[in-house]
Amino acid sequence: MSRGPISDAILAQIKERLDIIDVVSGHMTLTRTGQNFKACCPFHDDRTPSFTVSPGKQLFHCFGCGASGDAIAFFMKVSGLTFPEAMRELGRRVGVQVPETSAAETDQDAQRRRRLEAVNQAAAAHFRHTLSEPAIGKPGRDYLESRGIDQVVADQFGLGYAAPDWERLVRSLMKDGFSEAEICEAGLAVPRNSGARAQGAGSYDQFRGRVIFPITDLRRRVVGFGGRVVGPGEPKYLNSRDTPLFKKGQTLYALDAAYEAAGRQQTLIIVEGYFDVIALHQAGIRTAVATLGTALTPEHVRTVRRYAKQVVLLFDPDAAGVRAALRTLNLFVDTGLAVNVVSLPDGHDPDTFVRAHGAEGFGRLLEQAPSLWDFALDQSLRRAVSGRIEEKVRAADAVVEIIQKISHPVEKAERLRQAAERLGINEQRLAERYLSVERAGRATRRPSFHAAAPVLQKNINPEERELIHLLLQGQCSSKDLGRLRPDSFVDPATRAIAEAALRHRGADGRLLLRPLLDELLGVDSTRVLAAELSVKERHDEDAQASIRGCLEKLDRRRHERLLAELVAQLKEASQAGRTDEVRTLNERVNELRLQKAAYR
């Protein structure tokens, strides 16, 4: 990991004040298990909690994909920031100022990202100012008022307005020192050689005559924009194109405003539009987020799993909304998330419903919301409402397809029983159809979520692994460390950890664990093993007996290896007639044999 020129003093201050639990829990939901905390890993498709955080060691490790490190490493990995960027943000949180510029950030990619952040920030300020202008911003203010959005909430979400002019934003941003290329790369302008005004030089505004919704990340940086046309015009909604800062298929609108409440309530509500989110937040329902003109993706689901254990899906009550809900079924299979679907009354979307019935009415809908499985089954079974044989056959096949996605055998059996009862057909016949379809599709069917293959270390000698485990748990005394011989270790990683341990001994001979871990986590060859053994809890009460046993076995094996080498040298010297060397080697072999006997 490139640390850059940030001073050791600043780095030490930040690390001293950081708590890895605070950093990690800001991005995912942790559950205490013994001395550690666990969760499903945010870095791979994890079905069972394999991600472990140790507050005592201030590090994390995933037993599935091998991701590991300290709080800084986690924050960099989850946020995609460079080391200087991450240090500035973490420093801000703990009250340590980090210089704004550094040699590590002179590369083109880092400069490009900083300029995109700056141009987005300037554009957001421009749109807010335009909304407040008495004459030019009036259409935007009138439209927000017609949608029931008050000024406090508009300010909270940074809402703005893009005037109908073709170059108003471009001129403003160029006056602020941004180039046309930068403005276009941010998705805020379109070159005149394409699009609606494909003539002449220069660029024109992408957003015109629209209420503007800044899209922000968890650091509250503006990464993109959405715009709703005011008056007639198409498309009704327009989003920024993907940029180095913004990916529609990975971003959820208003997650930065919702994730703290979602963490407390363990629930996220997913809707389809900007106004739906804002109306729910305005009504006090602060766990709402929205997709950005795309269907839910696996990346969205991975993000959701960091903050909540339950998901509520709100879709429009029309046929398209039903189909959208059913398409999410595969995404949530075996994710560990409880998913419910809210069906709104005809003629309502979340925005209009909450304005008409308030938070209490919405709460009643949540209480009645069926699970996604029940919703999907119900929609399939509706096909057989007339009782015609053809409809029952189609419904039975649809039900079988849904039930195939359930992994728990008891739930499968119960769902088959319920479906047979509602269809009015023999349960055994439905079960037979299920088995037939399952056999036919088994070769090609893939689960939507795959756990990463466990990252296993090479075949490390059990005594080497056990001794290093106890060492990293802080169980070795100064006397134990005095007996530690790195050349007793065969595996390169365990040997490197033993060598590092001897470099990190205090004046009293005891191990300085925190500096040792800092060194080990910064080296690729030792990071994964050190993190794994540091967070792995022990249940053996007699650690000292285990340490003595491991040291003795490793010493004995070291003597055996050395004795074998000397015997081979002795044989070679004898055959070559090197008398003096034979005598010396004989003495050394006899000495080692006496030492070996002492271990028996």
pLDDT tens digits, 333-358: 777 788 999 988 877 888 889 988 99
Q: Which distant-in-sequence residues (6+ apart) come within 8 Å of 146 by Cβ?
A: none
Based on the fold, state whether residues 487 and 562 are members of the same structural domain.
Answer: yes
**What pLDDT, on the 0 to 100 scale, is given for residue 386?**
65
Q: Are residues 583 and 477 in the same domain?
A: yes
Share of the chain residues as helix, strand and coil, in percent rounded to the nearest 5? 55, 10, 35
Enumerate residue ranges in the chain where pLDDT < 50: 1-3, 102-105, 196-198, 443-456
How far CA 225 is from CA of 148, 187, 417, 430, 524, in Å, comes to 21, 9, 49, 50, 39
226 and 281 housed in the same domain: no
Tell me which of 395, 410, 441 is where a domain ends.
441
Assess if residue 447 is contained within a domain: no
Residues 98 and 121 in one domain: no
**Does a structural domain hold residue 289?**
yes
Q: What's the rounded Cα separation, in Å, for the pair 224 and 186? A: 8
pLDDT at 452: 45
Distance CA 46, CA 64 (A): 8
Query: What is the CATH classification number for the domain harbouring 316?
Result: 3.40.1360.10
Question: Residue 439's pLDDT is what?
Answer: 73
**pLDDT at res. 49:** 87
What phi, psi does 85 have (nearest 5°)? -65, -45
The phi and psi torsions of 212 (rounded to 5 degrees) equal: -110, 135
Q: Whole-angstrom Cα distance, residue 82 to residue 86? A: 6
Which of 369, 400, 416 terminates a domain? The answer is 369
Q: Decide if 250 is inside a domain.
A: no
- Does residue 97 fall inside a structural domain? yes
* CA–centroid distance for 142 within its chain: 40
* 306 within some domain: yes
Pairing between β-strand 338-343 and β-strand 310-315 as defined by DSSP bridges: parallel
Placement of tokens 């996605």 in the chain: 405
pLDDT of res. 445: 45
Residue given tokens 């994390």 in the structure block: 60
Contact present, 340 and 378 (Cβ < 8 Å): no
Q: In the listed set 239, 268, 283, which residue is the last one of a domain according to the structure?
A: 239
Domain count, the chain: 5
Within this chain, do residues 99 and 116 fall inside the same structural domain, yes or no?
A: no
- What CATH number did the domain enclosing 124 receive? 3.90.980.10
Q: Is residue 168 part of a domain?
A: yes
364 lies in the same domain as 423: no
Q: Which domain holds residue 44?
A: 8-105
Residues 543 and 591 in one domain: yes
Q: Who's near 12: CB < 8 A, 6+ residues apart?
A: none
pLDDT tens digits along 419-454:
888 788 888 888 888 888 777 765 444 444 444 444
Measured between alpha carbons, how far is residue 71 from residues 27, 100, 305, 358 in Å?
12, 21, 20, 41
The answer to whether residue 448 sits within a structural domain is: no
How far is it, in rounded angstroms, from Cα 388 to Cα 277?
Answer: 42
Residues 587 and 476 in one domain: yes
Tell me if 510 is assigned to some domain.
yes
User: Are 99 and 160 in the same domain?
Assistant: no
Q: Are residues 113 and 72 in the same domain?
A: no
Q: Which tens digits make up the pLDDT trace of 59-113?
A: 999 988 889 999 999 998 887 777 888 888 898 888 888 876 544 445 666 778 8
**Mean pLDDT taken over the chain:** 84
Does residue 584 share a domain with residue 487?
Answer: yes
CATH number of the domain at 37, please: 3.90.580.10
Say if residue 557 is in the same domain as residue 578: yes
Residue 59 has φ and ψ, to the nearest 5°, of -150, 165
